[in-house]
Amino acid sequence: MNSWRSELPLAGEPTADFRERLARQQAEAAERRRHALTEQASPLNSAEARIRIWEQLHAIELPRDAQHRLLAVIAANTGLSIAQVRAEQQQRAAGGVPRPLVGASDVPGAPS
């Protein structure tokens, strides 16, 4: 239920029920985000998967510049080394990995 409509009261819905429903949706979204943050740094995920999760959570694509300052942030958030992040950059530049569609994510809680 990520529709903007879910943030509106339903016809005839009591205010208390609406507030409860909104609070429940917000708690679920927060839990999905916490889970995605855990997955973005999980050693069980590949570097590609961790970076893709990071991109989806932040709605930003991996910079193409190998010297970009954001690479250090991505490395720190994903538990990867800068060399691993640069290797992913190179693989994408070579056409080895399709660029993610930021916003069209499989990551729960990621922005659309």
Query: Does some domain include residue 110?
Result: no
Range 92-111 average pLDDT: 59
CA distances from 97 to 7, 48, 75, 91 (A): 36, 9, 18, 6
Query: Does some domain include residue 23?
Result: yes
Check residue 96 and give its pLDDT. 63
Query: Does some domain include residue 25?
Result: yes
pLDDT digits (tens, 9 = 90+) for 50-77: 999 999 999 999 999 999 999 999 999 9
* Sign of the dihedral through C-alpha 101, 36, 88, 55: positive
Please list the alpha-helical segments (H only) found in the chain. 15-40, 47-58, 70-78, 82-93
The whole-model pTM stands at 0.70
pLDDT at residue 112 greater than cutoff 50: no
Query: Does some domain include residue 1?
Result: no
* Domain range for 85: 12-93
Query: Does some domain include residue 28?
Result: yes
Query: Does some domain include residue 88?
Result: yes
Count of the separate structural domains present in the chain: 1
Query: Does some domain include residue 111?
Result: no
